[in-house]
Structure 1
Amino acid sequence: MSRLPSPIAAGLLAGCSLLAAEAAAQESTLPLTTVTAKGYAGEDLQTPLAAVSLNRDELMARGAANAGDALRGVPGLAVASDGPQGQNPVIRGLKKESIALLIDGMRVNSAQPAGAIASLLSLGLADRLEVVKGPASVLYGAGAMGGAINILTPQAKFVPGAQISTSMGGDSASDALRAAAIANLSQGDHAFMLGASIARIGDYRSPAGEVAHSGYDSDSFIGQYRFRIDANQQLRVSLQRHRDDDVWYPGSAKPGTPPALGVVTVRAPKQERKLAEVGYSRKDGGTLNFDVRAYRQEVRRQIQAYAAALGRNQSETDVTFTTDGLDASANWLVHPQHLLSFGVNAWKMKAAPERYLNNNPPLFNNHVRNDPFRDGKIDALGLYVQDDARFGQLNVLAGLRYDRIKGSAESMSNGAVRNGLARSDHATSGSLGAIYEVSPLLRPYANLSRGFRAGEMRERFEASPRGDGYYYVGNPQIRPEKATQFELGLKGEDSRFSYSLSAYRSRISDYITGRVTGAVNAGLPVKQTENIGRATLKGLEFQGRWQVVNQQWLTAAYSRIRGENDDLREPLFQMPADEASLGWQGRIAGGWNGDATLRMVKRQDRVARLFARGTENATAGFGTADLGLTYRWTKNSLRIALKNLADKAYHEHLTEGLSGQEIQAPGRSLALNWQSTF
């Protein structure tokens, strides 16, 4: 499908509107709240920025295995994919390096060559998924230039007795089986939360046939203990562990260099995330609340390049990214309509990857150690203050932050480079927004925000081949990106209609990317990490929901983004395609609810030709249709969904792979999900 409604037509269609999958589990019109946008719970209709919040029922209705998959089709969001596990969310055209990924508000750090750190927690254990679109550096510092994604897990609650919730599901495209259970146990001043999930996912089937090496196994565990000191104070200890086994990234498959290697594909036999947190909170329900936490998080990955012609690995890497962090925040209710918050975030990430190469043709068996860098470190310290004030119908949100980021390494290029590997940067971020309630259905808002992103470890220090077929050359002196975004929007909601509309323009200076240089290293084309100068992003987003008759809702959404490389005067590399969706959700009979969604994605022919040197080509447009049926009784629900109804062959524009050979999305699939609480 190559044509989309114009923005005006989409706006008219949106008069009957929102994403059907988001509404599939909702039967009420409770105000949408988010904790990620302000750092504490607040209503979206009183927040002058664009945010998304999906609760547990909505996540289960989407049948998504990870955060990237769950956010597919949401206006302003896209997915960069190199395989079923590697579903990286993209916010307004900015990828994983420009997004702060959080789990329970704690940063998940990892220099990710393949796959998605957003997948290192099972959504079967998620209570809610929240997204802030646009610069969120005031609260989350470096890396939140494009926004923030926060996966929130259940917290231990002081509810007497035991409460247990379970879920089980799967789909026919991948013969997947997923199951999860969460228990809350409490007595007196002690509360425990325990959760576990498993997933056994097979190679999925696309309309063109089975996609080899697309299956994997996954297991997650979460636990928390809370001790109630008194009515206002609590201590907590939290543990999390997630492990994926036998993960391949089929989108990375490329002809090897030299050709004797055959097709080379990146795989991860084992990857694991561990988290330990201790925290103290005080909430007096009055003027001053605060929370402090210390945590350690480890992300260990085994990354291998499997050469098909050899029947074994051409390279093997084992690396652990260890992050020690400290967060402290406080809220001071200066006045019933005036909340002041402030805090400090400090973290240090360390890594020392061990890499072995088999690079002696024709045997390819020398197993030589060739570490991309040694003892890499990134230290970050940030201080912020935020003012949330209400003046009658006007709500004003203003914030200011100062950050210091330092990167260093002992050496890079297997010890060949030892000088010039340290750099310190200082950055100031800010935001100022206001939203005014003319009426419940008319709340205009404006927001001016500034964010930044310092280079991550691969961009600073790694000089080595990667799975995309390029030899990357790091840059220890890379300058931080800075983005300034201006956004205008409208929001509104009543018992029959809700919507949000936003238009934004973001100007990025010192944009960090890998530029194809035309040079060759080790037989591979070279990409040099560098600041290209300036880039501009402009976009329009809409979503809405309308109850046309009692318990029958129509939904619609529209998203359009334009990215421009201002230096080369051409489209920015790998921008998401325009898309729109229409849907219906409603009561059928008794406890039965149905839903349907039509997603339409336009042909993407706005590609970077000079910058990419022919490595980005146009992607055909497509349309998909999904149907769902949900039955609820007492504390149980059963959902049956048919995805990609017409068995459409397609791939998203941001799917990794050789042009014309990208892996296709799953074909027609029957998905089942059962939930129960007792």
Structure 2
Amino acid sequence: MSRLPSPIAAGLLAGCSLLAAEAAAQESTLPLTTVTAKGYAGEDLQTPLAAVSLSRDELLARGAANAGDALRGVPGLAVASDGPQGQNPVIRGLKKESIALLIDGMRVNSAQPAGAIASLLSLGLTDRLEVVKGPASVLYGAGAMGGAINILTPQAKFVPGAQISTSVGGDSTSDALRAAAIANLSQGDHAFMLGAAIARIGDYRSPAGEVAHSGYDSDSFIGQYRFRIDGSQQLRVSLQRHRDDDVWYPGSAKPGTPPALGTVTVRAPKQERKLAEVGYSRKDSGTLNFDVRAYRQEVRRQIQAYAAALRRNQSETDVTFTTDGVDASANWLAHPQHLLSFGVNAWKMKAAPERYLNNNPPLFNNHVRNDPFRDGKIDALGLYVQDDARFGQLNVLAGLRYDRIKGSAESMSNGAVRNGLARSDHATSGSLGAIYEVSPLLRPYANLSRGFRAGEMRERFEASPRGDGYYYVGNPQIRPEKATQFELGLKGEDSRFSYSLSAYRSSISDYITGRVTGAVNAGLPVKQTENIGRATLKGLEFQGRWQVLNQQWLTAAYSRIRGENDDLREPLFQMPADEASLGWQGRIAGGWSGDATLRMVKRQDRVARIFARGTENATAGFGTADIGLTYRWTKNSLRIALKNLADKAYHEHLTEGLSGQEIQAPGRSLALNWQSNF
């Protein structure tokens, strides 16, 4: 059921709709830059690794509901889904546990039994979405073994007066309404940025019919104040809050154990993320730039297992994951063509989930406390140095990092286990890459990188039944997994053509996963956290854009990945399918422009059989077509898009659900979006 927007969100949106001021001059076209790949703004064409950057305009044009949805179809990226909110990005076959998720460069930590913490910020408040593909542990430490995703929000700017940006949109398949507003207010040495967004999303319709419990509500708020000490120094305070209500994860639905429970589905009546940051920066034309900040990020989740036959919950969990962190970084321009950067990252994550079970058949009404673990903590400390040097046409990027990770808990298995719950690990990460400019259209590069991830709290300490029908057995002594990736690629760009091509091979040791053992505990199948040994990932990615006529562009993309469980000599569990896309973008007449995209996904029949024990099956291939029209006038734009034009029935291979009964993707949908700047 939808609820009214929060007073703060409603008030800001209403206020922004009444304000008007002169807009700032539009920025000139610049080469694609990212801040996540190097830790500071750098041109992609001078960076020897694969990265993705989507601007605010691109995100709104895609009509995506969240970060995972926005990255669908991008080469090297996929989405693991258990529902519309639970769209988890996958980088080169590695899932959420192997990806560092950052918001404005600050780590978001949370165990993720269902849903996606990457969805805990409205895209309407996102300025840019950046992805580093491949090990990024040199800059981001534990968890960045597969890469990093950085969701960047607008920053308060010292632009005199007031600037307002608004967007309103929706789609027909879920009767969704989304609205966002961002304001920048500045006078003298003071600058404020305020933003708010709301979303009211109904159950969506697939070609097979309405998908029950697929709707939810969300509110987001962001704010920042900056004080300019002088021309090079600034202080900042940032606050963020996001809340989702009445979220269900239809892909989690499974027959209950015992059968008297009926179908059991995981849901989250409330989940919330809060962020507070204070920071200081020094940036000038000299040789040393410096930034330091302290932050607290909280992710609170209410996770319940709803038993259809009982018409109430079989289990209820309430947990807050609190991360306190300090980051300090500096860039030293040792030479006009030689930039050294170094820094330290320290954070502590803690959680104490409270879980209640109804586990007394046939009544299922005893509501007993059964905490998976108590007072779990993970402490991390990392130090890094990076060298970015240019020698004529050659750019070299080298980095080295040392991390110490310690995990501990007071108890696990509802207090039954109190010993052997602490483990400390040390890890060294590194990267070495080079890119050479033969010509603007020919820039070969090579990169060798090493990353790691230590076990997260659920993998270490959880020992209890969960709403997905398994009895989880954590492993406090789980070893960190490590990945070494070698990548070769080409990049190029001129006024008519741009492209990137990469091939990579990644070897993973001590691969961490949850294995269905075949054992039974408390009547439930056991899923044990284990280091299974070695795994290998190999892939090929391409994307290009070509101006065939004046203001007429053709696009193409391709992605292929192969994952192998080297110990069992079979395909790695849940690997994305091969896919390709073709597209057109161009000006039609006046302020009108159009676009069309054909996405083709190959049948995925390379599935894990020994490891999965029947929980992964082949997925049929499919093709979808999207078309769109955009009209721009003065400081406004209106976009109309038709998605899944042929109303194709399909689901992605990484969609969660019982094999053969996965939820279908949305059917044909008409999407509208209006943007305006004042």
TM-score by length of 1: 0.96
| Cα distance, 1:5–1:320 mapped onto 2, change above 3 Å | closer
**Conserved 8 A contact 2:2-2:200:** no
Contact 1:80 1:90 in 2 (8 A): yes
CA deviations 1:21-41 (Å, max 9, x no partner) are 999999996311000000000
Cα separation, 2, equivalents of 1:14 and 1:37: 38
Q: Is the 8 A contact 1:3 1:603 kept in 2?
A: no
| CA deviation map 1:78-108 (0-9, x unaligned) | 0000000000000000000000000000000
Q: Deviations over 1:239-263 (max 9, x none)?
A: 0000000000000000000000000
Question: How far did 1:539 drift?
Answer: 0.1
User: How far off is 1:275 after superposition?
Assistant: 0.4
Q: Matches of 1:9 and 1:506 in 2, distance apart?
A: 45
Contact 1:607 1:618 in 2 (8 A): yes
Q: Is the 8 A contact 1:76 1:541 kept in 2?
A: yes
Q: Distance in 2 between matches of 1:609 and 1:3?
A: 44
Residues 162 and 186, structure 1, Cα contact 8 Å, conserved in 2: yes
Deviations 1:566-611 (A, max 9, x none): 0000000000000000010000001111000000000000000011
Mapped to 2, the partners of 1:467 and 1:147 lie a distance apart of: 29
Q: What's the offset of the Cα at 1:490?
A: 0.1
Assess if the C-alpha contact under 8 Å between 2:5 and 2:219 holds in 1: no
Instruction: Label 1:600 to 1:121 Cα distance change in 2 as closer, same or farther (>3 A).
Output: same
1:120 Cα deviation (Å)?
0.4
The 1:23/1:499 distance shift into structure 2, 3 A limit, reads: farther
Q: CA deviation at 1:2?
A: 40
1:523, 1:140 → 2: CA distance? Answer: 41
C-alpha contact (below 8 Å) 1:18/1:545 kept by paired residues: no
Give the match's secondary structure for 1:574: coil
**Residue aligned with 1:300, SS:** strand
CA distance in 2, matches of 1:6, 1:297: 21
Q: CA deviation at 1:465?
A: 2.4
Sequence identity percentage = 97
Do the aligned partners of 1:18 and 1:583 also contact (CA within 8 Å) in 2? no
Distance 1:26 1:435, change over 3 A: farther
- Unaligned 5+ segments in structure 1 are none
Q: 1:8 to 1:674 in 2, by over 3 A?
A: closer
Instruction: Tell me if the contact between 2:9 and 2:219 (Cα under 8 Å) persists in the aligned partners.
Output: no
In structure 2, relative to structure 1, the CA distance for the partners of 1:25 and 1:419 (3 Å cut) is farther
1:22 is paired with a residue of what secondary structure? coil
The answer (yes or no) to whether the contact 1:157–1:186 under 8 Å persists in 2 is: yes
Distance in 1, Cα, partners of 2:263 & 2:451: 40
Tell me if structure 2 keeps the 8 A contact 1:24–1:585.
no
Rate the CA distance shift 1:448–1:502 in 2: closer, same or farther, 3 A: same
Contact 1:14 1:544 in 2 (8 A): no
The answer to whether the 8 Å contact 1:17/1:556 transfers is no
User: 1:4 & 1:573 partners in 2: Cα distance?
Assistant: 42
Figure out how many residues of one structure are paired with residues of the other and give that number: 678
CA distance in 1, matches of 2:94, 2:667: 28
Write out per-residue CA displacement over residues 486-532 of structure 1, whole angstroms, 9 at most, x where no aligned residue: 00000000000000000000000000001111101121111110000
Q: Distance in 2 between matches of 1:47 and 1:143?
A: 22
Q: What is residue 663 of structure 2 aligned with on the other side? A: 663
Contact 1:20–1:595, Cα closer than 8 Å, also in 2: no
Q: Is the 8 A contact 2:264 2:468 kept in 1?
A: no
Matched residue, 1:377: 377
How far is the alpha carbon of 1:148 from its aligned partner? Answer: 0.2
Distance 1:464 1:548, change over 3 A: same
SS at match of 2:90: strand
**1:664 shift after superposition:** 0.4
Does residue 175 of structure 2 align to residue 188 of structure 1? no
Residue of structure 2 in register with 1:104 after alignment: 104
Once the two structures are superposed, the pairs formed by residues 457-496 of structure 1 within 5 Å of their partners are 457-496=457-496
- Greater alpha carbon shift after TM alignment, 316-325 vs 18-27: 18-27
CA contact (8 A) 2:20 2:164 kept: no
3-state DSSP of counterpart to 1:389: strand
Moved over 3 A (4+): 1-30
Cα distance change of structure 1 residues 222 and 671 upon mapping to structure 2, 3 Å threshold: same
Q: CA deviation at 1:466?
A: 2.9
Contact 2:497/2:547 (8 A) holds in 1: yes
Encode CA deviations 1:606-646: one digit per residue, 9 max, x unaligned: 00001111111000000000000001111110000000000
- Structure 2 residues without counterparts, runs of 5 or longer: none
Query: C-alpha separation between the residues in 1 aligned to 2:14 and 2:246?
Result: 43
User: Secondary structure of the equivalent of 2:348?
Assistant: strand
Would the aligned equivalents of 1:373 and 1:413 in 2 still touch at CA under 8 Å?
yes
State the secondary structure of the residue aligned to 1:57.
Answer: helix
**Alpha-carbon distance in structure 2 between the residues aligned to 1:540 and 1:355:** 44
Question: Structure 1 residues 13 and 339 mapped into 2: Cα distance closer, same or farther (>3 Å)?
Answer: farther
- Asked if 1 retains the 8 angstrom alpha-carbon contact of 2:452 and 2:480, the reply is yes
- State the distance in 1 between where 2:259 and 2:602 align: 36
For the structure 1 residues 71 and 559, does the alpha-carbon distance in structure 2 shift closer, same or farther, using more than 3 Å as the test?
Answer: same
Instruction: Report deviation, 1:15.
Output: 48
- In structure 2, the CA distance between the partners of 1:600 and 1:2, relative to structure 1 (3 Å rule), is farther
Superposed displacement of residue 469, structure 1: 2.4
SS in 2 for 1:17: helix
Q: Deviations over 1:135-166 (max 9, x none)?
A: 00000000000000000000000000000000
1:118 is paired with a residue of what secondary structure?
helix
- 1:21-79 Cα shifts (integer Å, max 9, x gaps): 99999999631100000000000000000000000000001001100000000000000
Give the direction of change, closer, same or farther, for the CA distance of 1:17–1:610 in structure 2 (3 Å limit): farther
Relative distance call for 1:5 and 1:447 in structure 2 (3 A) is: farther
Aligned 8 A contact 1:22 1:58 in 2:
no
Shift of 1:14: 46
Written as runs of structure 1 = structure 2, the 5 A alignment for 1:52-71 is 52-71=52-71
Partners of 1:446 and 1:317 in 2: how far apart?
A: 46
Residues 9, 125 of structure 1: CA spacing in aligned structure 2 closer, same or farther, 3 A cutoff? closer
1:429 corresponds in structure 2 to: 429
Contact 1:176-1:202 within 8 A present in 2 as well: yes
Contact 2:2 2:217 in 1 (8 A): no
Distance, in Å, in 1 between the alignment partners of 2:440 and 2:386 is: 26
Q: CA RMSD in A?
A: 7.9
Indicate how the Cα distance of structure 1 residues 486 and 25 shifts in structure 2: closer, same or farther if over 3 A, else same. farther
Q: What secondary structure is seen at the aligned counterpart in 2 of 1:21?
A: coil
1:468, distance to aligned residue in structure 2 (A): 3.3
Q: Which is further off, 469-478 or 145-154?
A: 469-478
1:383-436 deviations in Å (ceiling 9; x for gaps):
000000000000000000000000000000000000000000000000000000
Deviations 1:183-224 (A, max 9, x none): 000000000000000000000000000000000000000000
8 Å contact from structure 1 (residues 555, 583) kept in 2: yes
Question: CA 1:25–1:55 in 2, change beyond 3 Å: closer, same or farther?
Answer: farther
Secondary structure at 1:29's aligned position in 2? coil
